[in-house]
């Protein structure tokens, strides 16, 4: 399989029609036709071997899934609907020449494809290259759309708004820690209960928040709650008070000591849940699109005597929460 | 300079306003607002060290320039107007910690920025990461727009159409060959007469072809005339006859033996000129937007007794021209 064969393989695997994709793989550019009165949202994310994944630990299907999930989650955070994805993929030369290498590529695309199908996302183009070193390099672009002026930004929250999150936190960190401790490749190829290997971007929640005009601001929890809430506070020029006992912990954290479980939830990162702000007068259901929604804190005017984020412990004692989010691992 | 500082540096360097970019760097996604009744064009291109450039030969400003030029040229080929660029950049860790490394990054962005300014292209987002190995990795996304249904594709040419190119060919290959032979870094930081180091994407020609409805099909010459004309013929289900003596050779090829000069023009690649098809009844000026335009051949119905591309030599003898385009160099 050469580079041209790889492109053909991708084209055949992902061939599909869509009103939004007027022209897919095979010309100098792809052509997208968003709906009238919609704006275009664009996000790009690297997935680099040994920075974002390890070939010896992550199943190839998980690498493909996570590569797409990162971009889809950015669209979800803004309430956008995905139109198309573009993948740039560089592979070490030997991977196209060995059976194991070709199987890796097949599994990578099958993981990416099944998540893409789930969210009506078409792979409409990209680039391929031989990798300059023995590392797999991927960069994904997601393009989505939303009605003009309605996209959820980090900057729209107001003092008095309440903070909510989808799902539960800490699971991705707990699963990754277990994976690193075992130091053996995971054989898992299914997505249920694998918050690290197969995170679920919250597109249905994001688009519901936008459609029903529920949220004033939103962000996805990719770097960890402490870091991403800091971004939201800084963008909205507000401070936050976070109720530690309200934060829903993922079942996988239950094997950990309580302090460590909370630490995973606050700083673990890569849970890809949504954090959003809602006016206190707006009623929020307990679940949206089947995903549980939990209130975890409030936003207030910045005050030089108060930290940007105050963590309220179960004892009612308060401490400052500093951003200490996820640093991508390396060997 | 850490990763956050790098992002700040990029944001400050490229800060600018545009009607088309409603939200740039700093949220989960950028927001673009194309003009009403326009479609969106998307292209992505890797620029990987040792595959697409060499740190010991290419000035950093040239690497930045070429990174953007590849994407802009794809937009030019379809007649599109650039709206925004997105850059994913992974740097070896030591580059952000040494003065030489920081200078490289500054020069890279200055090369990218000056071409971006020339074509009103805003850097609206991207991603950064530490590179997993001692290689600089870049991936650029260009987003452009064109009136709905008017983008120039490879597939629209008809039998009897004439083939034209912009500018001259072989220069990029000739300059690269000289660079490789000298095996010394080029000190050049200016773009005049450096078809390899500072190629000029033909955006003004592309948009004129579209606006005046002159071309039935177009492609940019990135892989070499023999390969790119093959793509155009295959997409349009036509064959081509190419007049070797009509092909304008770049001045830098004049030091080469005639056969080698022609070889550079036919197969050299990376000239980033446009190749386009025009109905024989449509008059084409000798230059468009200041760029010379030259007729180099004709298109005809496919015929199983004739090759996809026939090269007509000055002696009137004919041979088959097979695609033998550019393979990116590696050490």
CA dist list (Å): A180 to A54, A222, A261, A272, B134: 10, 19, 17, 20, 25
> How many whole angstroms separate alpha carbon A83 and alpha carbon A138?
20
> CB neighbours of A61 closer than 8 A, spacing ≥ 6?
A107, A108, A110, A111, A114, A189
DSSP one-letter code for B184: S
Would you tell me which residues 178-217 of chain B have a C-beta closer than 8 angstroms to some C-beta of chain A? Answer: none
- Count Cβ atoms below 10 Å from residue B295 Cβ, excluding itself: 14
Nearest to B265 by CA among B174, B194, B183: B174
B25 and chain A in contact, CB less than 8 A: no
> CB neighbours of B133 closer than 8 A, spacing ≥ 6?
A132, A133, A135, B92
Nearest to A221 by CA among A239, A251, A247, A182: A247
The whole-number average pLDDT for the span B215-228 is: 96
| pLDDT band at B189; cut points 50, 70, 90 | low
Q: Which of A88-92, A119-123, B9-13, B114-118 has the lowest mean pLDDT?
A: B9-13
CA angle B293, B289, B203 (to 5 degrees): 90
Type and span of the H or E element at B43: strand B38-48
> How many whole angstroms separate alpha carbon A324 and alpha carbon A22?
43
Tokens of B135: 């290689």
Percent of the residues in chain A that have a pLDDT greater than 70, as a whole number: 95
B126 and chain A in contact, CB less than 8 A: yes
Sign of CA dihedral B69, B75, B81, B84: negative
The whole-number average pLDDT for the span A87-109 is: 93
Q: Flag if A84 and B130 touch (Cβ within 8 Å).
A: no
In which residue are the tokens 């299907």 written? A61
Residue A285 scores a pLDDT above 50: yes
Q: Is B7 helix (H, G, I), strand (E, B) or coil?
A: helix
Distance from CA of A254 to the nearest CA of B (A): 30
Tokens of A246: 């309200």
Q: What is the pLDDT of residue B146?
A: 97
Alpha helix segments (H runs only) across chain B: 3-14, 60-77, 99-118, 171-182, 203-211, 225-236, 258-267
Residue A330 scores a pLDDT above 50: no
Which of the following CATH numbers is that of domain A3-147: 2.30.30.40, 3.30.1330.10, 3.40.50.150, 1.10.10.10? 3.30.1330.10
Q: What is the pLDDT of residue A187?
A: 75
Q: Flag if B78 and A22 touch (Cβ within 8 Å).
A: no
In which residue are the tokens 């500093």 written? A322
Tokens of B256: 């080469």
Tokens of A190: 């299914």
Spell out which residues of chain B touch residue A155, defining contact as CB-CB under 8 Å.
Answer: 27
Residue B8 scores a pLDDT above 80: no
Nearest to A321 by CA among A304, A305, A309: A309
Q: What is the pLDDT of residue B184?
A: 83
pLDDT by residue (tens digit) across A232-257? 999 999 999 999 999 999 999 988 89
- Tell me what the pLDDT averaged over chain B comes to: 92
Q: Which of A49, A127, A330 sits opposite B44 (nearest CB)?
A: A127
- Pairing relationship of beta strands A162-166 and A274-278 according to DSSP bridges: antiparallel
User: Tell me, what's the ipTM?
Assistant: 0.92
A307 and chain B in contact, CB less than 8 A: no
Residue B325 scores a pLDDT above 70: no
Residue B209 scores a pLDDT above 90: yes
> How many whole angstroms separate alpha carbon A144 and alpha carbon A217?
18
Residue B327 scores a pLDDT above 60: no
The whole-number average pLDDT for the span B258-281 is: 95
> CB neighbours of A185 closer than 8 A, spacing ≥ 6?
A56, A57, A58, A59
> CB neighbours of B300 closer than 8 A, spacing ≥ 6?
B159, B160, B238, B239, B240, B241, B306
CB A123 within 8 A of CB A74: no
| pLDDT band at B235; cut points 50, 70, 90 | very high
The distance in angstroms from the start CA to the end CA of chain A is 30
| pLDDT band at A150; cut points 50, 70, 90 | very high
> How many whole angstroms separate alpha carbon B326 and alpha carbon B56?
21
CB B117 within 8 A of CB B185: no
DSSP B53-64: B-TTTS-HHHHH
Orientation angle between helical segments B3-14 and B99-118, nearest 10 degrees: 30
- Count Cβ atoms below 10 Å from residue A286 Cβ, excluding itself: 8
The whole-number average pLDDT for the span B58-75 is: 97
The whole-number average pLDDT for the span B289-316 is: 96
Chain A residue whose CA is closest to B84: A42
Residue A13 scores a pLDDT above 80: no
CB A176 within 8 A of CB A244: no
Residue A260 scores a pLDDT above 60: yes
| pLDDT band at A16; cut points 50, 70, 90 | low
> How many whole angstroms separate alpha carbon B40 and alpha carbon B81?
10
Q: Where are the domains of chain B?
A: 3-147, 162-320
Q: What is the pLDDT of residue B4?
A: 72
Would you tell me which residues 29-58 of chain B have a C-beta closer than 8 angstroms to some C-beta of chain A? Answer: 29-34, 36, 39-46, 48-52
Q: Is A136 helix (H, G, I), strand (E, B) or coil?
A: coil
Q: What is the pLDDT of residue B328?
A: 47
Q: What is the pLDDT of residue B292?
A: 98
Residue B23 scores a pLDDT above 90: no
Q: What is the pLDDT of residue A1?
A: 57
> How many whole angstroms separate alpha carbon B127 and alpha carbon A51?
13
The whole-number average pLDDT for the span A30-37 is: 92
Highest mean pLDDT, choosing among A176-180, A279-283, B12-16, B90-94: A279-283
The whole-number average pLDDT for the span B40-55 is: 95
> How many whole angstroms separate alpha carbon A97 and alpha carbon A2?
8
Q: What is the pLDDT of residue B1?
A: 57
The whole-number average pLDDT for the span B248-267 is: 93
Q: What is the pLDDT of residue A190?
A: 66
Chain centre distance of CA B28:
29
Q: Which of A49, A78, A88 sits opposite B28 (nearest CB)?
A: A78
The whole-number average pLDDT for the span A91-116 is: 93
CB A252 within 8 A of CB A172: no
Strand partners of residue A291: A288
> CB neighbours of A258 closer than 8 A, spacing ≥ 6?
none
> How many whole angstroms separate alpha carbon B108 and alpha carbon A181?
40
Q: Which of A33, A42, A126 sits opposite B30 (nearest CB)?
A: A42
Looking at the domain B162-320, which fold is it? Phosphoribosyl-aminoimidazole Synthetase; Chain A, domain 2 (3.90.650)
| pLDDT band at A189; cut points 50, 70, 90 | low
- Count Cβ atoms below 10 Å from residue A275 Cβ, excluding itself: 26
Q: What is the pLDDT of residue A19?
A: 82
> How many whole angstroms separate alpha carbon A227 and alpha carbon A224?
5
Q: What is the pLDDT of residue B24?
A: 85
């Amino acid at each position: 399989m050469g580079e041209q064969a790889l492109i053909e393989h991708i084209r055949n695997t992902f061939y599909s029609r869509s009103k939004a994709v007027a022209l897919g793989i095979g010309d100098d550019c792809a052509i997208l036709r968003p709906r009238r009165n919609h704006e275009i949202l664009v996000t790009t994310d690297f997935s680099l071997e040994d920075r974002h994944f390890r070939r010896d630990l992550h199943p190839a299907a998980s690498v493909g899934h996570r590569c797409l999930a990162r971009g889809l989650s950015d669209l979800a955070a803004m309430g956008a609907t995905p139109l198309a994805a573009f993948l740039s993929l560089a592979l070490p030369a030997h991977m196209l020449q060995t059976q194991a290498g070709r199987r890796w590529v097949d599994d990578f695309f099958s993981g990416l494809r099944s998540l893409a199908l789930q969210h009506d996302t078409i792979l409409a183009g990209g680039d391929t290259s031989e990798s300059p070193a023995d590392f797999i390099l991927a960069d994904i672009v997601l393009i989505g759309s939303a009605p003009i002026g309605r996209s959820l930004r980090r900057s729209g929250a107001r003092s008095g708004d309440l903070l909510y999150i989808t799902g539960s936190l800490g699971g991705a960190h707990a699963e990754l820690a277990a994976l690193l401790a075992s130091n053996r490749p995971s054989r898992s190829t299914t997505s249920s209960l694998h918050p690290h290997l197969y995170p679920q971007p919250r597109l249905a929640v994001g688009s519901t928040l936008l459609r029903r005009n529920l949220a004033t601001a939103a962000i996805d929890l990719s770097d960890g709650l402490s870091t991403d809430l800091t971004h939201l506070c800084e963008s909205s020029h507000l401070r936050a008070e976070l109720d530690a006992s309200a934060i829903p912990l993922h079942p996988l954290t239950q094997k950990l000591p309580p302090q460590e479980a909370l630490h995973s939830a606050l700083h673990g990162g890569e849970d890809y849940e949504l954090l959003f702000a809602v006016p206190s007068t707006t009623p929020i259901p307990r679940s949206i699109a089947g995903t549980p929604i939990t209130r975890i804190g409030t936003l207030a005017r910045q005050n030089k005597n108060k930290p940007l984020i105050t963590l309220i412990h179960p004892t009612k004692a308060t401490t400052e929460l500093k951003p200490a989010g996820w640093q991508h691992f390396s060997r």
